[in-house]
Amino acid sequence: MRVGLTYNLKKEMSQGEKSEHLPPDLYAEWDDFETIEAIQNALAQAHDIIPIEANEHAFKTLQEEKPDIVFNIAEGMKGVSREAHIPAMLEFLHIPYTGSDPLTLSLCLDKVRCKEILAYHHIPTPRFKVLTSANGNGSAKYLRYPLLVKPCHEGSSKGIYNNSLVYDAKELSGKVKTIFKDYHQPALAEEFLEGREFTVALLGNGKEVRVLPVIELDFDQLPPNANRIYSYEAKWIWDTVDSPLKIFTCPAEIDEEAETLIKSTAVKAYRIMRCRDWCRIDIRLDSFGIPHILELNPLPGILPRPENNSCFPKAARAADMDYNQLILEVLHIACKRYGILHG
Ligand SMILES: Nc1ncnc2c1ncn2[C@@H]1O[C@H](COP(=O)(O)OP(=O)(O)O)[C@@H](O)[C@H]1O
Ligand SMILES: [Mg+2]
């Protein structure tokens, strides 16, 4: 098949962007060259690949090239619907593609809308308030401190720093101000769940949804005095290829009952949000051991090298699936969903 690969290549912030006071983690979600190349190599084992950078020329290129299917990892440029832009173009052009549709991608990036939908379906998610003004802390007064404060629509730990855990109204208001200033969006204040944290990778559609071995985050591996959260520092600064943070345990060491509950909560959330083909779901236990959904990642990070500590490939390896097999499996699952026969 002729397979398009849509991506956003990570870049350094320009001097202009730095002087515009844009957040330092502006391009954290975008993929590095090594990842794009690794996906391309995996797909090239069986297909002809057309790499397409998800920029302002993407629509024209897709229209001209008309691939049989697109493997989409494009995180998008701007706005809460940014992850939906390429899938929307692909739908417009009747080109099949891997992963979730524009609606699911937008809803999952909007953490608040996503939580509202999960709550409607009685799926536990931390209690929260949306703060649209730094002085509007009154609306958070029914929440129990400490609170975890984050931007409403970011990913890759953007805007979630070690100091995002706040203990009183004054700290809350300071953090909310920072989020307005750096990210130009409302702040989501959530009750902090102190229990164990897991992330769950899922593959497939309909009755064939498959849960890969569960990963646990071991916060004891963080530097002393660090808050027990997977912050920007934990993801991008303390964890390096030369000195990987041994923060992930896979398969997680949990009893069968807890594992069943975590997996079934993940599958329910996957179905409710109408995810397609694949997704990674972050889950944390409350003090009673009940799994709560923190967020869904329908465009999961897939860094290729084991030292990169990327969760989806790690869970796949624990299920005896190497990187290339994982990429080809996602493509196969999408082809099956569209009824496309391929060799
Ligand atoms: N309500 C919460 N309670 C406890 N920890 C949280 C909560 N919300 C976020 N965290 C911590 O912050 C990390 C990042 O939050 P998350 O919502 O997954 O954002 P991102 O999209 O950046 O991954 C989580 O992995 C978890 O460690
Ligand atoms: Mg997360």
Residue 24: predicted pLDDT: 66
More confident residue, 343 or 29: 29
Q: Check pocket membership of 294 for ligand 1, CB cut-off 6 A.
A: yes
Distance 277 CA to ligand 1 centre (A): 23
Q: 120 lies in a domain?
A: no
Distance 57 CA to ligand 2 centre (A): 30
Q: Are residues 235 and 328 in the same domain?
A: yes
Q: Check pocket membership of 229 for ligand 1, CB cut-off 6 A.
A: yes
What confidence tens digit (pLDDT) does each residue in 59-79 have? 999 999 999 999 999 999 888
Provide the CATH number for the domain around residue 86.
3.40.50.20
Of the candidates 191, 213, 237, which is a domain's last residue? 191
Q: Are residues 291 and 334 in the same domain?
A: yes
What confidence tens digit (pLDDT) does each residue in 278-311 have? 999 999 999 999 999 999 999 999 999 998 889 9
Average pLDDT, the chain: 93
Q: Are residues 90 and 134 in the same domain?
A: no
Q: Are residues 212 and 92 in the same domain?
A: no
Q: 115 lies in a domain?
A: no
Q: Are residues 203 and 332 in the same domain?
A: yes
Q: Check pocket membership of 155 for ligand 1, CB cut-off 6 A.
A: yes
Distance 252 CA to ligand 1 centre (A): 18
Whether the Cβ atoms of residue 167 and residue 183 lie closer than 8 Å to each other: no
Q: Check pocket membership of 157 for ligand 1, CB cut-off 6 A.
A: yes
Asked if the model's pLDDT at residue 331 lies above 90, the reply is: yes
Q: Check pocket membership of 295 for ligand 1, CB cut-off 6 A.
A: yes
Distance 294 CA to ligand 1 centre (A): 6
Asked if the model's pLDDT at residue 259 lies above 90, the reply is: yes
Q: 106 lies in a domain?
A: no
Q: 66 lies in a domain?
A: yes
Q: Check pocket membership of 284 for ligand 1, CB cut-off 6 A.
A: yes
Q: Are residues 215 and 173 in the same domain?
A: no
Residue 74: predicted pLDDT: 97
Q: 113 lies in a domain?
A: no
From the number of C-beta atoms within 10 Å of its C-beta (0-12, 13-18, 19+), residue 325 rates as middle
Asked if the model's pLDDT at residue 26 lies above 90, the reply is: no
Residue 311: predicted pLDDT: 96
Q: Which percentage of the chain shows pLDDT scores above 90?
A: 80
Q: Which of 125-129, 154-158, 280-284, 337-341 has the lowest mean pLDDT?
A: 154-158
Q: Check pocket membership of 75 for ligand 1, CB cut-off 6 A.
A: no
Distance 93 CA to ligand 2 centre (A): 32
Q: Among 64, 54, 44, 53, which Cα is nearest to 1's?
A: 44
Q: Are residues 214 and 307 in the same domain?
A: yes
Q: Are residues 208 and 332 in the same domain?
A: yes
Distance 38 CA to ligand 1 centre (A): 28
Q: 209 lies in a domain?
A: yes
Q: 112 lies in a domain?
A: no
Residue 312: predicted pLDDT: 98
Domain hosting residue 49, numbered range: 2-99
Distance 160 CA to ligand 1 centre (A): 8
Average pLDDT on 94-119 reads 97
Q: Are residues 83 and 183 in the same domain?
A: no
What pTM, to 2 d.p., does this model score? 0.94
Of the candidates 81, 99, 117, which is a domain's last residue? 99
User: Confidence band (pLDDT; 50, 70, 90) for 236?
Assistant: confident
- Dihedral, 263, 265, 271, 275 alpha carbons, nearest 10: -70
Q: How many domains is the chain built from?
A: 3
User: Confidence band (pLDDT; 50, 70, 90) for 240?
Assistant: confident
User: Confidence band (pLDDT; 50, 70, 90) for 112?
Assistant: very high
Q: Check pocket membership of 301 for ligand 1, CB cut-off 6 A.
A: no
Measured by CA distance, the residue closest to atom 19 of ligand 1 is: 157
Of the candidates 165, 191, 217, which is a domain's last residue? 191
Q: Are residues 177 and 301 in the same domain?
A: no
Atom of ligand 1 nearest to the CA of 128: 1
Q: Are residues 25 and 135 in the same domain?
A: no
Q: Check pocket membership of 83 for ligand 1, CB cut-off 6 A.
A: no
Q: Which percentage of the chain shows pLDDT scores above 70?
A: 95
Average pLDDT on 34-49 reads 97
Q: Are residues 237 and 317 in the same domain?
A: yes
Asked if the model's pLDDT at residue 13 lies above 80, the reply is: no
Q: Which of 160, 217, 295, 309 to mutate to test the pocket of ligand 1 (most atoms within 8 A of CB)?
A: 160
Asked if the model's pLDDT at residue 256 lies above 80, the reply is: yes
Provide the CATH number for the domain around residue 184.
3.30.1490.20
* CA dist 237 → 61, 84, 109, 232, 276 (Å): 36, 29, 23, 7, 32
